[in-house]
Structures are given as C-alpha cells and as structure tokens.
Amino acid sequence: MRDEEYDWCVYHLVAAQEATSLQALERCTGLSRETLDASVDRLVRAKLIERCGDSLRALSLPEMVILQQMEKDPESPLVIEQGIIKVPQGRRN
C-alpha cells in the first residue's frame, strides 16, 4: 500500500471514532506501530487529526482552517486548547 492509502484508512477510523488511540488502530488495521506512527504524523502535519499522547481525534473543519491560518500568520490572536478555539486574555484587542 502507498502512504496515502494508509492515511485514508487511519483518518477514517479516527474520524468515525472507531479508533481513538494507537492501540485501537493497531487492532483495527493490523498495521505495525511504525507504519501507524508515520501515518498519524502525516495526518497531524496536514492538520486533519490531533494527537495528544496516545489519544487521537479528528479535527473539525473550523479547527483545520484556524490551524492553517495560525501557521501562516504567527501574529494571529487565536489559539486552540483541547479543541476549544479562543483568544488568550493577554492577546485581546
């Protein structure tokens, strides 16, 4: 399989909440931990999922857009903490 096929499979399992951890992904897919780590890393870099330790969750569309904006604009006042989009008190206008 190609990397894109692994990523598609992993993303859909996480988005459907059938696998919200690396152990669950291993059970669902039968893929090696190394293959899953690489796929999860690509999906995190693409801002499609979030990894917090061993927990995984699909990002919402607004989170994806804001993360892309934050990456392009380091002066953006927005932050995302545990899935909540907010403006920190010190950065409010």
> pLDDT (tens digit, 9 = 90+) per residue, 30-88?
999 999 999 999 999 999 999 988 899 999 888 888 788 777 777 777 777 766 777 87
pLDDT at residue 27 is higher than 80: yes
pLDDT at residue 2 is higher than 70: yes
Pairing status of strand 79-81 against strand 55-58: unpaired
Do 39 and 48 form a contact (C-beta atoms < 8 A)? no
What is the pLDDT at residue 14? 96
Rounded Cα–Cα distance for residues 78 and 71 (Å)? 11
Total-model pTM: 0.76
- 3 CB-near residues (< 8 Å, 6+ apart): 38, 39, 42
Which residue shows structure tokens 């857009």?
65
Output the CATH code of domain 1-59. 1.10.10.10
Residue range(s) in the chain whose domain bears CATH number 1.10.10.10: 1-59
